[in-house]
Structure 1
């Protein structure tokens, strides 16, 4: 995960003093990269010892290493800005061309950030668990429920016994019936949705492999999960973080889905062939010119 994305994702879970440092860095990363350790301490209202603790919390040996990393990322971001960022604000009188640009460029940037931070080793473990699972349970509420439903459809098409739930009572009863080797996936942008945390904890108590999909790797949901997959999110006008996270969450789960398909290739191919034939009669045939040969249905 890139440093600034990581700071943005984890700042809500940091102690208050470290959170103040994170806020100053995120407010103007390029300026923060030019500050001395004393400057940053004064700007954040903390101390040089706090800055050192902040660096170590992020895995850096000291402030110099942190500054170099921030400077590298901000320099790269500045070079890419012309293609990926035309601002995040949408005014009531903006034209639809501006709206399209802000929304599409924001989504492109978030997908790029998600791809850069995605832990492929964890993706491998999740895909292996799903490919062997007797049952897979997906749970999310609000916008995350739609993401869970999409993943349910994809896994079912390849023959994986999968259920998605958006009601906490139904999800809890399903979680209680899971067993060793089953998989429970909880989806929550904030990682603080109580119902999702409860469902994952219930599933884990019965031996299921638990997976969190969240934008906050230090959140309570991540704490109860065995495996954590992170997605990027940043709000724009009229689109809060949770809405902005949908495409990133779908990217994460789409990579998992394809990885499962790779590991169950023969079973998946057979399932796809069967399902395509099942719906062939519900598709209109395209008109043929006289010289065209017959086409197979599909």
Structure 2
């Protein structure tokens, strides 16, 4: 049984128009009920319309209302069988509960992201990164951690990379890219202005662009050549990105391992060199 319908709705709801949001909210609040409803009945109960529900399904990347109901049914069955589902963090949760909840939510986001990652687009991104003369990573806030991780990993296999934290440096670097280079924009919301500006500049210079962002259409998604989508339900009381950071790091790992494997012997040689140099620096201390 396919699943992931509820996570897709949660991730995309902010980008929907008002009639679609009404239907989406009703589904999230009444998942057990909607699997028995017709599209007309759901439209009536959610104060929406049949056409809005059809558009909702299309925006979620589904063939129609039947697939949506199948996915929600799969979510409910997984939950009933003890499968992971997103759990809200509460202000007074004790430490054991926090450990369980946050770990569960990270695992949940990783599994849901694996369902929406397009293998063909991953392969395109891996091929581009493996052949790139230079790689730029653009990000801000918590997403900057994924950018720095990408820089660190790809540098270890002798790839010229940048992951500047300063937005002006990111834009300056983007100006110097060419057709043989790749720019990777990382933004959970897909609306980080300076990341989008840097991606646009890189693209105007001929560089291939990759976007790592949340599922659904957003400004970054519209700009990039290769879109890699993630799913990450976040707690309402979060003070910083948690699960979204985990899934971004996971995508970086997938891209790195894929690219390194394109020239395995070369990659292993440089990984050994970097490891040896680091060990020697520790011994000197």
**Partner residue, 1:68:** 70
Structure 1 unaligned spans of 5+? 286-298
**Inter-partner Cα distance in structure 2 for 1:186 and 1:61:** 29
Deviations 1:189-215 (A, max 9, x none): 000111111111111011101011001
Deviation (angstroms), 1:250 = 0.5
C-alpha change, 1:234 and 1:56, in structure 2 (3 Å) is closer
- Which has the larger Rg? 1
Q: Which has the larger displacement, 228-237 or 184-193?
A: 228-237
**Partner residue, 1:248:** 247
Deviation (angstroms), 1:91 = 2.7
**Inter-partner Cα distance in structure 2 for 1:237 and 1:56:** 27
**Partner residue, 2:12:** 10
Q: Is the 8 A contact 1:214 1:231 kept in 2?
A: yes
**Aligned with 1:242: secondary structure?**
coil
**Inter-partner Cα distance in structure 1 for 2:253 and 2:19:** 38
Q: Give yes or no for the alignment of 1:89 onto 2:89.
A: yes
Deviation (angstroms), 1:9 = 2.5
Deviation (angstroms), 1:33 = 1.5
**Partner residue, 1:170:** 169
**Partner residue, 1:35:** 37
**Partner residue, 2:231:** 232
Q: Give yes or no for the alignment of 1:153 onto 2:155.
A: no
Deviation (angstroms), 1:89 = 2.6
Structure 2 unaligned spans of 5+? none
TM-score (norm 1): 0.87
**Partner residue, 2:56:** 54
TM-score (norm 2): 0.90
Q: Which has the larger displacement, 262-271 or 11-20?
A: 11-20
Deviations 1:109-128 (A, max 9, x none): 11111122211211111111
C-alpha change, 1:241 and 1:117, in structure 2 (3 Å) is farther
**Inter-partner Cα distance in structure 1 for 2:159 and 2:117:** 24
**Aligned with 2:82: secondary structure?**
helix
**Inter-partner Cα distance in structure 2 for 1:158 and 1:264:** 10
Q: Summarize the alignment of residues 1-298 of structure 1 with structure 2, pairs less than 5 Å apart.
A: 2-58=4-60, 62-81=64-83, 84-85=84-85, 87-92=87-92, 94-236=93-235, 238-239=237-238, 242-283=241-282
Paired residues, number: 282
RMSD value, Cα:
2.2
C-alpha change, 1:123 and 1:52, in structure 2 (3 Å) is closer
Q: Which has the larger displacement, 55-64 or 170-179?
A: 55-64
Name the structure, 1 or 2, with higher relative contact order (CA <8 Å, separation 6+): 2
**Inter-partner Cα distance in structure 1 for 2:250 and 2:30:** 28
Q: Which has the larger displacement, 9-18 or 144-153?
A: 9-18
Deviations 1:64-87 (A, max 9, x none): 443233223322333234xx3583
C-alpha change, 1:255 and 1:29, in structure 2 (3 Å) is same
Deviation (angstroms), 1:269 = 1.0
**Inter-partner Cα distance in structure 2 for 1:274 and 1:52:** 55
**Inter-partner Cα distance in structure 1 for 2:62 and 2:148:** 40
Q: Is the 8 A contact 1:118 1:252 kept in 2?
A: no
Deviation (angstroms), 1:160 = 0.7
